[in-house]
Amino acid sequence: MLSMVGLIGGLILLIVLTMRGMNLLVAGPLCALFVALFSGMPLFPQLVQEGEANLVGNYMAGFSGFVASWYLMFLLGAIFGKVMEDSGAADSVSKWVVDKLGMKRAVLAIVAACAVLTYGGVSLFVVAFSVYPMAVSLFKQANLPRRFIPATLAFGSVTFTMTSAGSPEIQNWIPIEYLGTTPYAGWEVSIIVALFMMFFGYWWLTKMIRKAVERGETFEMREDDPETNNGALPNPLLSMLPLVVVLAFSFVFHNSLKQSALIIALLGGIVATYIVNRKYFHSFWTAVSAGTVGALIAIGNTAAVVGFGGVAKAVPAFQTAVDLMTSIPGSPLIGGAIAVSVIAGLTGSASGGQAIALPILAPHYVELGVNTEALHRVVSISSGALDSLPHNGYVVTTVRAICGETHQDAYNAVGALTVIVPLMGVALAIILFSLGIGI
């Protein structure tokens, strides 16, 4: 009982502290300590046998594991974003988009850029780094409240693209191992759900922005914003070339190198930016340095939350919660959706929710004769809902480290688009599969 109080209380505390703006490098360990104390978990590795759970060991395993897996991608992604910014390429592309689509289509351009990169296999974290400079420039020119930039980036990355049929993102691939399906499982329903999330989410996003503008909100400049280049800018079509290089390299090497394909893709993007726009740089190496600092802050914040998840998963209450969620009676599609979504919320990770729930769910449901393609698609979509609570690593990185916003200002819009819209998408998918569509 105390362990469950600690688990739920620690999660609530982490969300509250995150919303209040506490530094996550402090909030993460503090909330992990709360969970450990209520669960009676030993605090130090010296107090247990080798391999047994303890606060410091489990927290640092989660923290360091994330850094080891993602540091180079964060580093190169942040540098790529900064060199696009410093060379004027982001300004050039954004001005071209505004000229072609008009100021009213600035948000659409950002969503589309994120969607193309995400569906092309570029990591969600890297997409945010890469598109942010263009987003700032577009919001500035359209005079839109910048607190909506995180929601715009997130909507284009983690809703209708991340969990759709054919997506190369890991959230669409994990079920394959357990269900024997393909990345295109349930594609008919996936298309309908993706279109619903895309159109409804875009309508909701633009409605929120329009109401804010009507209240008098405008774009607010910051001291660390890049200076607007009113002089010569690089060719906008050539400035898009680095983005194309990242997308193309990621696609070509994805199957052979998996996550490591991003290293080649981002290096290619940085090199392409330098070659195409080298005469427009203010200071290439200053941009590289700024990107490096940004990457360290971003990965530190995210790893702090992952460390909390490492402790939460090791306490007895977590297994109790998993057992409860994976034994929900009734429709397997509803049970699977609830189980994966809740576990993803507890861990702050869509992939974590799938990886924990599917080894338990899959054999049981397959034995019952559940349509595996339907289960694959429902599980995939549901993993991208409650995972986007305020403590989620992607949310923290995008809101805080990349966009420089606070959760109080930016999260309401992010939560609406990345929690509520996907939950509606899950419900729609279950209804469609229940009607026999795509089965």
pLDDT at 392 over 90: no
Residue bearing the bigger pLDDT, 384 or 328: 384
pLDDT of residue 102: 67
User: Is the model's pLDDT at 384 over the cut of 70?
Assistant: yes
Question: Quick one: pLDDT band at residue 203, thresholds 50, 70, 90?
Answer: very high
> With bands split at pLDDT 50, 70 and 90, how would you rate the model's confidence at 228?
low
Question: In this predicted structure, what is the pLDDT of residue 230?
Answer: 53
C-beta of residue 421 within 8 angstroms of C-beta of residue 388: no
State residue 436's pLDDT score.
87
- Classify the C-alpha dihedral 429-432-435-438 as positive or negative: negative
Helix (H) or strand (E) holding 179: helix 170-179
- The pLDDT > 70 percentage for the chain reads 95
Cα separation of 66 and 91, whole Å? 33
pLDDT tens figures, 153-194: 999 988 898 888 888 777 887 888 888 888 888 899 999 999
More confident residue, 231 or 193: 193
Residue 238 has pLDDT above 60, yes or no: yes
For residue 251, give the nearest of 241, 265, 237 by alpha carbon: 265
Query: pLDDT tier at 231 (50, 70, 90 boundaries)?
Result: low
Instruction: Read off the pLDDT of residues 77-113 as tens digits, 9 standing for 90 and up.
Output: 888 888 887 888 877 876 777 677 766 788 898 898 8
Task: Work out the percent of the chain whose per-residue pLDDT is above 90.
Answer: 28
Q: What are phi and psi of 336, to 5 degrees?
A: -65, -40
Residue with tokens 């994805």: 254
Rounded Cα distance, 201 and 421, in Å: 6
Closest CA to 77 of 328, 375, 402: 402
Q: Nearest to residue 79, comparing CAs of 246, 240, 233, 248?
A: 246
Question: Is residue 46 left, alpha or beta, with left meaning phi > 0 and alpha meaning psi from -120 to 50?
Answer: alpha
What is the rounded average pLDDT of the residues 111-126? 77
Average pLDDT, the chain: 85
Rounded to an integer, what distance in angstroms lies between the CA atom of residue 165 and that of residue 330?
26
pLDDT digits (tens, 9 = 90+) for 325-382: 767 777 888 888 888 888 888 777 787 778 778 887 888 788 878 899 999 999 999 9
CA distance 391 to 400: 11
Q: For the chain, what are the domain ranges?
A: 2-219+231-434
Quick one: tokens of 375?
A: 């289960």
Q: Taking residues 307-333, what's their average pLDDT?
A: 82
Rounded distance, CA 113 to CA 127, Å? 9
Say whether pLDDT at 135 is over 70. yes
pLDDT at 128 (0 to 100): 83
Write the DSSP assignment of 318-365 as a string of letters: HHHHHHHHTT--S-HHHHHHHHHHHHHHHHT-HHHHHHHHHHHHHHHH
CA 237 to chain centroid, in Å, comes to 28
- Per-state percent for the chain, helix, strand, coil, to nearest 5: 75, 0, 25
Lowest pLDDT segment from 11-25, 68-82, 219-233, 313-327: 219-233
Please report the pLDDT score of residue 416 as a whole number. Answer: 95
pTM for this predicted structure = 0.78
The predicted pLDDT at position 54 comes to 93
Banded model confidence at residue 35, pLDDT cuts 50, 70, 90? very high
Please compute the mean of the pLDDT values over residues 140-157 and round it to a whole number.
92
